[in-house]
């Protein structure tokens, strides 16, 4: 099973971005999505694969925190 996790973009440098996974900061590739600082993205294997709405991120994070 593959797992993608939502994250918030906090800094962009070309095709790379620093994102925040609920306190854990990582560098990811954003070359396949059109995003800006403050946007939320779904991240899989170091790549942003989809831009997300904040409401969806809250719901997914609740599932991840509490278990499905």
Q: What confidence score (pLDDT) does residue 1 get?
A: 53
Q: In the chain, what are the domain boundaries?
A: 5-66
CATH fold of 5-66 reads SH3 type barrels. (2.30.30)
Which tens digit of pLDDT belongs to each residue from 12-56?
999 999 999 989 999 999 999 999 999 999 999 999 999 999 888
Asked whether residue 2 carries a pLDDT value surpassing 80, the answer given is no
Record the tokens describing residue 38, joined without a space: 């403050």
- pTM here? 0.85
Rounded-to-integer distance, Cα 31 and Cα 59, Å: 26
Rounded-to-integer distance, Cα 6 and Cα 56, Å: 9
Whether 20 contacts 10, CB under 8 Å: yes
């Amino acid at each position: 099973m593959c797992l993608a996790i939502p994250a918030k973009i906090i800094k962009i440098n070309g095709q790379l971005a620093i994102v925040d996974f609920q306190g854990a900061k990582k560098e990811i590739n954003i070359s396949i999505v059109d995003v800006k600082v403050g946007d939320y993205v779904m991240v899989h294997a170091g790549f942003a694969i989809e831009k997300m709405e904040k409401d969806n991120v809250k719901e997914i994070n609740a599932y991840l925190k509490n278990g499905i």
